[in-house]
Amino acid sequence: MKTLIIVLLVAWLLLSVIGALIEGLLWLLGIGVLLLVITGVWGWFKLRRRSADRV
């Protein structure tokens, strides 16, 4: 699960960078940042809940 979250975060970061570099794809920057934030929050809650279950 942790690997999947990291891969998704890197993918969204790359989309954001590509969107920022190419003027015509500025909308891609917005989508990439949005997906990056959503995935980060989702992963944080998932990993936090899993660690709480272990205790």
User: How do the domains of the chain map onto residue ranges?
Assistant: 2-54
22 versus 55: the higher-pLDDT residue is 22
Q: What is the pLDDT of residues 14-32, one digit of tens each?
A: 988 888 888 788 888 888 8
pLDDT for residue 39? 92
CA distances from 19 to 2, 33, 51, 53 (A): 26, 10, 35, 39
The Cα 6–Cα 12 span in angstroms is 10
Q: Would you say how long the chain is, in residues?
A: 55
Q: How confident is the model at residue 46 (pLDDT cuts 50, 70, 90)?
A: confident
For residue 54, the Cα-to-chain-centroid distance in whole angstroms is: 25
pTM over 0.85: no
pLDDT at site 28: 86
